């Protein structure tokens, strides 16, 4: 499988990342209702079997449960696994010591001595300056407790500032994790994507299927449930608007024996410098997402998708 290097001399990861926000999360994902630990264990195993060994989590996912599950599952395999997790700059974390303590807690939940990619979950840091935050993370890289430093939801200018502070310490900024999909392409025009390319910062794309819109399973005649029921994108008008996109995804997918979701993920990978994070709850979803790998669309097909979804 083709691999991607995060940062200069950083870790090497597959071109697809498994998202674990739903692992243990009851607030948004109703963990414990239709899925539980058994399904998550099966998803973890299915990913490793497919060669996808890169997992994204955060200390806030499931209030620490997501990290704990990954730690437990990793103990049951001898296969190398790359974990990306996130630090939340909360109001009571105002100095370098609090950053290091949060890292220590994540290391303990994951049952590892080193986290390959440690990201800052959002740019607003309350009383903690970016200088203190980035310098503390650089210290932890030099101590060996972090392999690479990343950010999440940072604008182009915020990314440049973080990159500059880290560079002064000899540490590259490896990634910026942002929302990006065929239906959410703002990073192409607000400076984030070109700046990331200039700085050799990889984009980790969350919501790569636009919360399920790009799977094709939602239709104007079907009323979505949960949070989607109040999202205008899932209204009859919203779904009618994206019907041409889904039609094209199906047409391309038929040629390669792939689903619309697999085509949409493949389009992101084809952008270069981009790794989609596909959230999963079970082994079947892993197998679906892995179908985005191992094939290449023609330039014409990529161009058609680009044109039909252009902002």
Catalytic residues, by residue number, are 61
Backbone angles phi, psi at 147, to 5 degrees: -85, -45
- H-assigned helices in the chain: 37-49, 65-75, 96-110, 130-143, 156-167, 192-199, 236-256, 260-270, 283-290, 299-309
Kindly report the CA angle at 269 between 52 and 82, in degrees rounded to 5?
30
Provide the token pair at 118: 């440690």
Q: At what angle do helices 236-256 and 299-309 cross, to 10 degrees?
A: 180
Cα distances (Å, whole numbers) of residue 216 to 232, 257, 292:
16, 15, 15
Residue 2, classed as helix, strand or coil, is coil
Per-residue H/E/C for 74-110: HHCCCCCCEEEEEECCCCCCCCHHHHHHHHHHHHHHH
Find, among 78, 76, 77, 127, the residue nearest to 99 by Cα: 127
């Amino acid at each position: 499988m083709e691999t991607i290097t995060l940062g200069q001399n950083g870790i090497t990861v597959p071109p697809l990342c498994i998202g674990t926000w739903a692992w243990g999360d009851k607030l948004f994902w109703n963990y414990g209702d239709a899925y539980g630990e058994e399904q998550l264990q099966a998803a973890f195993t299915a990913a490793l079997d497919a060669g996808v060994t890169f997992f994204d989590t955060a200390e806030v996912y499931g209030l620490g449960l997501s990290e704990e599950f990954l730690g437990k599952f990793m103990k049951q395999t001898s296969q190398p696994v790359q974990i990306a997790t996130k630090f939340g700059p909360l109001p009571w974390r105002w100095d370098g010591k609090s950053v290091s303590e949060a890292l220590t807690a994540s290391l303990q939940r994951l049952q590892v001595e080193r986290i390959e990619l440690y990201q800052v979950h959002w740019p607003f840091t309350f009383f903690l300056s970016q200088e203190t935050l980035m310098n503390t993370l650089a210290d932890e890289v030099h101590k060996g407790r972090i392999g690479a430093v990343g950010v999440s939801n940072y604008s182009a200018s915020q990314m440049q500032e973080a990159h500059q502070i880290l560079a002064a310490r000899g540490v590259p900024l490896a990634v910026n994790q942002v929302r990006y999909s065929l239906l959410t392409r703002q990073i192409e025009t607000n400076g984030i994507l070109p700046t990331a390319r200039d700085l050799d910062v990889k984009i980790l794309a969350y919501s790569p299927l636009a919360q399920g819109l790009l799977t094709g399973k939602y239709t104007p005649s079907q009323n979505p449930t949960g949070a989607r029921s109040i999202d205008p994108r899932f209204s009859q008008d919203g779904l009618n608007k994206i019907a041409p996109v889904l039609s094209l995804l199906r047409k391309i997918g038929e040629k390669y024996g792939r689903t619309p979701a697999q085509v949409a993920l493949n389009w992101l990978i084809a952008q270069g410098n981009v790794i989609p994070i596909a959230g999963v709850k079970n082994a079947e979803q892993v197998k679906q997402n892995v179908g985005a790998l191992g094939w290449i669309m023609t330039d014409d097909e990529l161009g058609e998708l680009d044109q039909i979804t252009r902002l």
